[in-house]
Every structure is written in structure tokens, then in C-alpha cells.
Amino acid sequence: MTSHFEIADREAMNAGRRLLGKVAVVTGAAGGIGREIALTFIREGATVVVADLDRDRTAAAARDIDPSGERALGLTMDVTNEEQVEAGMSRVVEAFGSLDILVSNAGIQIVAPLVEFEFAKWKTMMDIHLDGAFLTTRAALRQMYRQKGGSIIYMGSVHSKEASPLKAPYVAAKHALIGLARSWRRKGPLMGSVPT
Ligand SMILES: NC(=O)c1ccc[n+]([C@@H]2O[C@H](COP(=O)([O-])OP(=O)(O)OC[C@H]3O[C@@H](n4cnc5c(N)ncnc54)[C@H](O)[C@@H]3O)[C@@H](O)[C@H]2O)c1
């Protein structure tokens, strides 16, 4: 049996190269939590695609996290836009040859009582959190099935499991991401039905 000390030793030995050779796309990575994830991945040896809305911000974040310019790429990609996601994810594979990790992190928060919540804002919330997760997942899964491996991570929240009266749409969206993950993580016929 492996002891806690052995596991800790192994972790320490691998620190700084746990993601060596992996290609990761992090959405909403020009700032906030996404940027920190991107930076951590760079420190662990990955090549990271910083995907976000604004070209200058993505380019600046990519430069910041990897001044060498060799392992970080800024990608202008609105996760709610099917064409941009398809083109962006294809570009990643063309540029780096694989896609090993997707972090679907892009998200927003709108705080208001449900009875006053504007429909347009509800739709924006669902667009970014759910359409964004769906579109990026679909594109990533196609490539991951082709290369027979990969990891997809959704940015959750305490609101993935708990409710909060002023954040009902956010709570609904974060809960829904659990359902989305449960659906594709089941192996079986789904794998075979994806064109290679
Ligand atoms: N901040 C928190 O306390 C907290 C807590 C739990 C979970 N989260 C989750 O973490 C994630 C990141 O939150 P954050 O606090 O870093 O937010 P943030 O506002 O600092 O960063 C979000 C990033 O997403 C980008 N973005 C927004 N819409 C986009 C779109 N359509 N396409 C591509 N990029 C888009 C923004 O430009 C921004 O750079 C979200 O999913 C959020 O729900 C945040």
C-alpha cells in the first residue's frame, strides 16, 4: 500500500512538470480565476491557450503568463458563438497537434431578485455558462475522442450545489453544468457515434 509520505514525495518530485506536454484551453482566461488557472498550468509545463473576448486582453495575458511566447497563445473566442468556438478549437489543434485539457471557466454573475430578473439577462447568463460549456465541450470531445483521451473541467461554485435567493439564474446554470458533465462522462455508445 502506498503511504501518504510516498504520495507527497511523488507529488513534490513532479511539481513543475505535472502537465508537461499537455495542451490546455482555458476560457475566460484574460483575467480573474481563468488567468490564474492558465498561469498554474504554464508553471506545470503545459502549453496554454488563453481564450477570451478581447484580442488585446488575451494577447496581453498570454504574454504575461509566458513571456517566452512559446507555450501560451491568446485566442479571441466568444464561447457563445458557434462559429468562433469551432474555428478557435480547430486552430488550437492545428497549432499544437492536440487538445488535452479544456477548462470551461468563462462566466458572469448578475445579482437580482428572481421576480425582477430581466429575461434578456437570464438568456445572457445561460448563453455564457451553458451554451459556452456545450459548444466548447462538443468541439473538445470530438478531438479528445480522436486522440483517445483528455480532460474537461467546468468551473463550478458553491452555487453548483447550494442556492442563493438573489442569484437564481446563476444557481440554475451552475447546477446544470453538473448534468452536462454527467451526460458525457458516461462511456459507451456515445463514444462510437462520434465521427473520427
Ligand atoms: N469570483 C468568484 O468568487 C467565483 C466563485 C465561484 C465560481 N466562480 C466562477 O469562476 C469563473 C470565473 O470567474 P471570475 O471571478 O474569474 O470572473 P471574471 O469576471 O474575473 O473573469 C471572467 C472572464 O470571462 C470572460 N468572458 C465573459 N464572457 C465570455 C464569453 N462569452 N466568451 C469568452 N470569455 C468570456 C471575461 O472577459 C473575463 O475575462 C466563472 O465561471 C464564475 O462563475 C467565481
Q: How far apart are CA 189 and CA 131, in angstroms?
A: 24
| Ligand 1 pocket, residue 47 CB under 6 Å | no
| Ligand 1 pocket, residue 53 CB under 6 Å | yes
Is 87 within a domain?
yes
Work out which ligand 1 atom sits closest to the CA atom of 80. Answer: 31
Is 114 within a domain?
yes
Report the length, in residues, of the chain. 196
Is 123 within a domain?
yes
Reading the chain (196 residues) residue by residue, the pLDDT tens digits are 677 777 677 776 778 899 999 999 999 999 999 999 999 999 999 999 999 999 999 999 999 999 999 999 999 999 999 999 999 999 999 999 999 999 999 999 999 999 999 999 999 999 999 999 999 999 999 999 999 999 999 999 999 999 999 999 999 999 999 999 999 876 544 444 443 3
| Ligand 1 pocket, residue 97 CB under 6 Å | no
The Å distance, Cα 109 to ligand 1 centre, comes to 8
The Å distance, Cα 104 to ligand 1 centre, comes to 10
Is 68 within a domain?
yes
Domain hosting 135: range is 20-193
Instruction: Read off the C-alpha cell for 11.
Output: 507529488
How many domains, in total, are found in the chain?
1
Active site residue 170: yes
Instruction: Read off the C-alpha cell for 92.
Output: 488550437
Q: How far apart are CA 58 and CA 167, in angstroms?
A: 28
pTM for the full predicted model: 0.93
Whichever domain contains 185, its CATH number is 3.40.50.720
| Ligand 1 pocket, residue 155 CB under 6 Å | yes
Query: Could you tell me which of 98, 86, 91 has the C-alpha nearest to residue 74?
Result: 91
